[in-house]
């Protein structure tokens, strides 16, 4: 769908006019393009609080990103130590001395705060970010790494929890399409930082900001994979894949190497065949709420040797204020958006349709986090998706399967095009990017969780909402 306001605001005349009357100018976000490297291109400044343990994985990840020039902030206490670490890992890292007057620009700022033990030591954040935060390039990336607070005690837990407030506030300040994220990592699981660093330091996370991801020990090592085709040899199922976000997910998973089964209801057969044809996938014409749907999906899984990735994307809205809501609206939304998913997961796992290394990813919504007027049925179903992630993460972890949710905010699709104009405009602008996201933004986030590199990420809910004001 097109965003006319954004197009006019970015024209040369529009820029001058909108700027003069202080209207927001939504930046044209830099998204990944075919042929492009997956990392952001430009200078990345790294830093770490004393005693931090994530920095080795940060440096090792950046070593694999020749398009990122690494620099270390020279006027922090442990700069020499960081330089030495970088040298040992074979990363060439310049020294950068912060200077208010210079015109250095940074495409990325990465700070490892895992060593912070109490609120006093949070000062390390100010020391690192204060001199450089105004030097961010357009669509830059900020990543803070912390230690999982729930696994800490006392002052360390307090201080680590504080990183959320810091990162989310930074996300709201930095503008110009820049994003800020926080990754909490368990002690000993630092290698699991590689996947979130790859995603958050890439143009693929263009519309994701203010998010918190938890990384934990994976339990087993993923087989070798290629970062450029991480899903090669994998089989994926995408429900509701004939259009909108589902079609984008199918395309991105196929781009990453997966063979995709695209599922949708029989009336969508033409669109379904078109999507499958474009990506060399196959189709399953099925209503996921049908009594035999779990068995049909499990049989299909058996036929192809099991699914590695299942994306529960099919979803509907049937909006009405609760007092006016017919019973059938309630039943339909709850059945499609959550109950069917539980039945499908149960049958797939019971029948061996998904095994070790499996990925289940479900689409929640900002309405399931913040609630929304006229959407008691939808909000309930999408909060239930978050409940599903929480309820099954431990049981599935024992089987080597991860389960995560992606919660879109305002995404430009047929679903949102149908919203009345004023409500649509409000939804579009009420976020730190002043614009709606694209289906591909949701799809890239799904692909991030689907990657073999994300074995240590489970039980997460990541919003793809440009840091929307609702539910932040």
Give the binding site for ligand NAD (CB under 6 A): 239-240, 242-246, 264-265, 268, 287-289, 313-316, 336, 363, 365, 408, 410-411, 413-416
Of the pair 174, 363, the CB lying nearest ligand NAD is at 363
Of the pair 10, 289, the CB lying nearest ligand NAD is at 289
Of the pair 171, 244, the CB lying nearest ligand NAD is at 244
- Identify the residue whose tokens are 């900001």: 209
Nearest-approach distance from CB 357 to ligand NAD, in angstroms:
25
Nearest-approach distance from CB 327 to ligand NAD, in angstroms:
18
Nearest-approach distance from CB 239 to ligand NAD, in angstroms:
6
Nearest-approach distance from CB 184 to ligand NAD, in angstroms:
25
Sheet holding 68-73, edge to edge: 93-96, 68-73, 42-48, 106-112, 136-147, 179-185, 211-215
Report the alpha-carbon distance of residue 263 to residue 268 in Å, rounded.
9
Of the pair 82, 338, the CB lying nearest ligand NAD is at 338
Burial of residue 4, with CB atoms counted within 10 A of its CB: 0-12 exposed, 13-18 middle, 19 or more buried:
exposed
Q: Nearest residue by C-beta to ligand NAD?
A: 315
Of the pair 74, 419, the CB lying nearest ligand NAD is at 419
Report the alpha-carbon distance of residue 64 to residue 10 in Å, rounded.
34
Report the alpha-carbon distance of residue 456 to residue 467 in Å, rounded.
24
Nearest-approach distance from CB 386 to ligand NAD, in angstroms:
12
- Output phi, psi for 272, to 5 deg: -60, -45
- Output phi, psi for 69, to 5 deg: -95, 120
CA 280 to chain centre: 26
Nearest-approach distance from CB 270 to ligand NAD, in angstroms:
12
Report the alpha-carbon distance of residue 326 to residue 364 in Å, rounded.
23
Of the pair 156, 336, the CB lying nearest ligand NAD is at 336
Of the pair 108, 246, the CB lying nearest ligand NAD is at 246
Nearest-approach distance from CB 466 to ligand NAD, in angstroms:
12
Alpha helices in 256-319 (DSSP H): 269-279, 293-304
Report the alpha-carbon distance of residue 263 to residue 287 in Å, rounded.
9
With beta carbons less than 8 A apart as the criterion, state whether 192 and 457 touch: yes
- Identify the residue whose tokens are 């961010």: 136
- Output phi, psi for 197, to 5 deg: -65, -40
Report the alpha-carbon distance of residue 357 to residue 466 in Å, rounded.
30
Report the alpha-carbon distance of residue 451 to residue 402 in Å, rounded.
11
Nearest-approach distance from CB 385 to ligand NAD, in angstroms:
9
With beta carbons less than 8 A apart as the criterion, state whether 143 and 181 touch: yes
Task: For residue 396, indicate whether it is catalytic.
Answer: no
Catalytic residue among 5, 184, 207, 378: 378
For residue 222 the two structure tokens come to: 């993923």
What are residue 5's DSSP bridge partners? Answer: none
DSSP 4-21: HHHHHHTSHHHHHHHHHT
Of the pair 216, 341, the CB lying nearest ligand NAD is at 341
Q: What's the DSSP call for residue 470?
A: T
Of the pair 345, 413, the CB lying nearest ligand NAD is at 413
CA 61 to chain centre: 18
Nearest-approach distance from CB 253 to ligand NAD, in angstroms:
15
Q: What is the CA radius of gyration of the chain?
A: 22
Integer angstrom CA distances of residue 51 from 77, 116, 161? 12, 8, 18
Residue positions annotated with a catalytic role: 378
């Amino acid at each position: 769908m097109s965003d006319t306001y954004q197009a006019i605001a970015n024209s040369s005349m529009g820029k001058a006019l909108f700027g003069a009357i202080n209207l927001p100018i939504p930046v044209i976000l830099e998204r990944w393009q075919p042929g492009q490297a997956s990392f952001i291109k430009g200078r990345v400044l790294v830093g770490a609080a004393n005693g931090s343990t994530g920095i080795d994985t940060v440096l090792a990840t950046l070593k694999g990103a020749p398009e990122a020039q690494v620099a270390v902030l020279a006027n922090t206490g442990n700069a020499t130590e960081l330089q030495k670490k970088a040298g040992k890992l074979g990363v060439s890292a310049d020294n950068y001395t912060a200077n208010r007057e210079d015109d250095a620009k940074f495409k990325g700022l990465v700070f490892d705060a895992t060593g912070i033990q109490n609120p006093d030591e949070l000062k390390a954040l100010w020391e690192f970010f204060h001199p450089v935060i105004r030097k961010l390039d357009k669509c830059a990336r900020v990543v803070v790494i912390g230690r999982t607070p729930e696994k800490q005690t006392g002052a360390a837990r307090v201080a680590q929890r504080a990183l959320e407030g810091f990162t989310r506030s930074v996300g709201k300040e930095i503008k110009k399409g820049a994003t800020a994220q926080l990754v909490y990592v368990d002690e000993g699981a630092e290698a699991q930082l590689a996947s979130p660093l790859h995603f958050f330091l890439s143009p693929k996370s263009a519309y994701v900001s203010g998010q918190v991801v938890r990384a934990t020990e994976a339990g087993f090592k993923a087989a070798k994979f290629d970062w450029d085709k991480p899903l090669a040899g994998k089989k994926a199922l995408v429900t509701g894949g004939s259009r909108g976000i589902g079609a984008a997910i199918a395309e991105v998973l196929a781009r990453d190497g997966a063979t995709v089964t695209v599922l949708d209801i029989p009336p969508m057969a033409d669109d379904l065949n078109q999507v499958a044809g474009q990506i060399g996938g196959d189709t399953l014409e099925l209503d996921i709420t049908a009594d035999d749907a779990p068995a049909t999906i499990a049989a299909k899984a058996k036929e192809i040797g099991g699914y590695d990735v299942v994306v529960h994307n099919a979803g509907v809205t049937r909006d009405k204020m609760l007092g006016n809501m017919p019973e059938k609206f309630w039943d339909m939304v709850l059945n499609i958006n959550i109950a069917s998913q539980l039945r499908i997961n149960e049958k797939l796992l019971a029948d061996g349709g998904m095994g070790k290394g499996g990925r289940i990813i479900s689409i929640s919504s900002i309405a399931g986090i913040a609630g929304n007027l006229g959407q008691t049925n939808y909000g309930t179903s999408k909060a239930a998706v978050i409940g599903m992630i929480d309820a099954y993460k431990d049981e599935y972890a024992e089987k080597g399967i991860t389960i995560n949710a992606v919660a879109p905010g305002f995404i430009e699709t047929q679903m949102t095009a149908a919203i009345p104009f004023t409500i649509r405009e409000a939804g579009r602008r009420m976020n730190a990017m002043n614009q709606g996201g694209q289906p591909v933004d949701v799809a890239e986030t799904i692909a991030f969780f689907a990657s073999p590199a994300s074995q240590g990420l489970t039980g997460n809910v990541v919003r793809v909402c440009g840091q929307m004001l609702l539910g932040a």
